[in-house]
Amino acid sequence: MKIDILSAVPDLLSGPFDHSILQRARERGLLNVNVIDLRQYGLGKHKQIDDYQYGGGAGMVMMAEPLFNAIAELKGETAYDEIIYFTPDGEKLTQSVANRLSLCRNLLCICGHYKGIDQRIRDHMVTMEISIGDYVLSGGELAAAVLVDSVGRLIPGVLNDETSALFDSFQDNILAPPVYTRPADFNGWKVPEILLSGNDGAIEQWREEEAIRRTKSRRPDLLDKA
């Protein structure tokens, strides 16, 4: 999968994809992330990319023309499955959205700043709008990093144990059960006996019960969807 990210602050994205699982995905050629500097499409000698908003009001708006030129050029090189704009009023990024996007070949992500981008780009070029939660970020870059992480780990072959993403929290709208590792007794805090029993069937049942108990107490809203 290729994910292109158009950003006015590309430095914000130098780093998050260079470690751990995403780094491995890139090394294996399963994920290719490119950050493109919007400023290179800026207008005039100051490479302007934002301007005052019509109708007055505080805050700058990212101009249509630099975004249009950048997106048009990128679309000329790549057939995108989705052109995604990050915004608090977009569709909530859930595991099911991440699952769906992990099946795409090429994504273009557009990161807004200031008051956002000129609505005409949203109307005519963007195909999907995503929010990562009900709070306001100062730009779309961190949202793009969250999307790349949540989608990238779902690409077949990225996780070593192919089954492990299947047991993630939210995969069936059920949270993951608690996990433990050695030692079995740390400071007198003991690992549940059942996990040391070697009885696979009983362990599996315990995990299911714990997952449901945790979901009931922490996220009862998910159980309606499960």
Q: How far is the CB of 115 from ligand ADE (least distance, A)?
A: 10
Q: How far is the CB of 113 from ligand ADE (least distance, A)?
A: 9
Question: By C-beta, is 137 or 151 nearer to ligand ADE?
Answer: 137
Complete DSSP assignment for 47-95: TB-EEEPTT--SSEEE-HHHHHHHHHHHHHH---SEEEEEEEEEEE--H
Question: By C-beta, is 131 or 169 nearer to ligand ADE?
Answer: 131
Question: By C-beta, is 88 or 177 nearer to ligand ADE?
Answer: 88
Q: How far is the CB of 65 from ligand ADE (least distance, A)?
A: 21
CA–CA separation, 170 vs 94, rounded Å? 8
Radius of gyration of the chain (CA): 22
Residues that bind ligand ADE (CB under 6 A): 86-88, 131-133, 135-137, 140, 143
Question: By C-beta, is 71 or 144 nearer to ligand ADE?
Answer: 144
CA–CA separation, 106 vs 2, rounded Å? 5
Q: How far is the CB of 45 from ligand ADE (least distance, A)?
A: 29
Q: How far is CA 200 from CA 96, 163, 184, 203, in A?
A: 29, 17, 18, 5
